[in-house]
Amino acid sequence: MTTGLVWDERFLDHRAPPGHPEHAGRAQAIWQRLESEGLTARCRRVPAREAADEELERVHTARHVRAIDETARSAALQLDPDTYTSPGSALAARLAAGGLVNLAREVAEGRLDNGFALLRPPGHHAEAERAMGFCLFNNVAVAARAAQAAGLAQRVLIVDWDLHHGNGTQHSFREDPTVLYFSTHQFPFYPGTGAIEEIGGGDGRGTTVNVPFPGGMGDAEYVAAFERVLLPIAAEFDPELVLVSAGFDAADGDPLGAMRVSPAGYAALTRRVLGLARGRVVLALEGGYNLDAIARSSAECVRTLLGDREPEPGFGEPDRRARAVLDAVKAVQEEHWAGL
């Protein structure tokens, strides 16, 4: 398999105050792990580049794009209770979004089989007109729109396995039947959105699928969410490209979350999505704050993208509370998806 890899040292120039969980050491830990396991050498590097105004403004308002650009003039700014910028943040954010656009394009065109984007800052909380939850531009949403605008994919599936609900991504495609947004997340939790009943609006009813789990869920429950809800819906939706908001804050040991997904669990989720869209799958880093867990989990995902196959461990039966959530999601979604 030819797996593309986006990484740029300028992602490290986005800095938050000391003690902030979303710091440059996260990306460095992942990069070092990929290097030490020989995985970077097996991937093809795809250069980051600055996203153009036109690309960003398919998702964000021009006013928001200008506001982020303006932050480069200030030593440090706080944009919301959790979101900070440094002089290097605006460039890092443009490079992250543009790098993911390029990677998704190469995969959609078939020049790469799949890809992994080791990005900072993350994106899925960023809304049309506001930075939020450590996110400045919504990288995945921008890449989905770019692939569509280039005529490379009509239907795009966004799978968001970050601990948190991707309010920005959901909002971007709320009424759009051509982008299916599927999210597993801890609930109730930050940012507060992502209830089962949030299924999209207008022509987009049914193309937002939320699986809000209580804390404590792990591999068995996440695999069950994919097998019982995501895969049947995705088979019917028939995406031409899959973008994954691959946060690793649902990992066992994460300081912000209460989930227990293991590196083998993330590999299992990656394997499930690789069965969609002829394997045209791109993972983009979102959150994840336990450095050892995010490094090991990223390495397992990249290994899976490269085609390495280990025998999958048995994950067991999902927790009763998770089964109840999945049943409730199916009950709400079944009028939109015959295969459920």
User: What is the separation, in whole angstroms, between the first and last Cα of the chain?
Assistant: 32
Q: How far is the CB of 239 from Zn ion (least distance, A)?
A: 23
The label of the residue with tokens 């280039």 reads: 150
Based on the residue annotation, tell me whether 60 is a catalytic residue of this protein. no
Which is the catalytic residue, given 125, 165, 171, 185?
125
Nearer to Zn ion, 255 or 314 (CB): 255
Residues listed for the chain: 340
Q: How far is the CB of 249 from Zn ion (least distance, A)?
A: 4
Q: How far is CA 307 from the centre of its chain?
A: 20
Nearer to Zn ion, 218 or 247 (CB): 247
Q: How far is the CB of 52 from Zn ion (least distance, A)?
A: 27
Find the helix packing angle between 24-36 and 291-305, rounded to 10°: 50
Q: How far is the CB of 284 from Zn ion (least distance, A)?
A: 13
Binding site for Zn ion (CB under 5 A): 162-164, 247, 249, 287
> DSSP code of 312?
P
Q: How far is the CB of 308 from Zn ion (least distance, A)?
A: 27
Nearest to 250 by CA among 235, 266, 264: 266
Q: How far is the CB of 238 from Zn ion (least distance, A)?
A: 28
Q: What are phi and psi of 271, to 5 degrees?
A: -60, -40
Nearer to Zn ion, 123 or 287 (CB): 287
> DSSP code of 279?
G
> DSSP code of 127?
B
Nearer to Zn ion, 22 or 50 (CB): 22
Nearer to Zn ion, 291 or 306 (CB): 291
Rg over CA atoms, the chain:
18
Nearest to 119 by CA among 45, 191, 48, 29: 48
The label of the residue with tokens 């303006």 reads: 70
Nearer to Zn ion, 121 or 287 (CB): 287
Is the bond preceding 121 in cis, omega lying within 30 degrees of 0?
Answer: yes
CA distance 96 to 9: 11
CA distance 136 to 129: 10
Give the contacts of 163 (CB within 8 A, at least 6 positions apart). 185, 186, 189, 247, 249, 250, 254, 256, 257, 259, 287
Closest residue to Zn ion, judged by C-beta, is 287
Nearer to Zn ion, 71 or 245 (CB): 245
Q: Dihedral through CA 321, CA 124, CA 282, CA 35, nearest 10?
A: -100
Q: How far is the CB of 289 from Zn ion (least distance, A)?
A: 8
Query: Could you give the residue numbers annotated as active site?
Result: 125
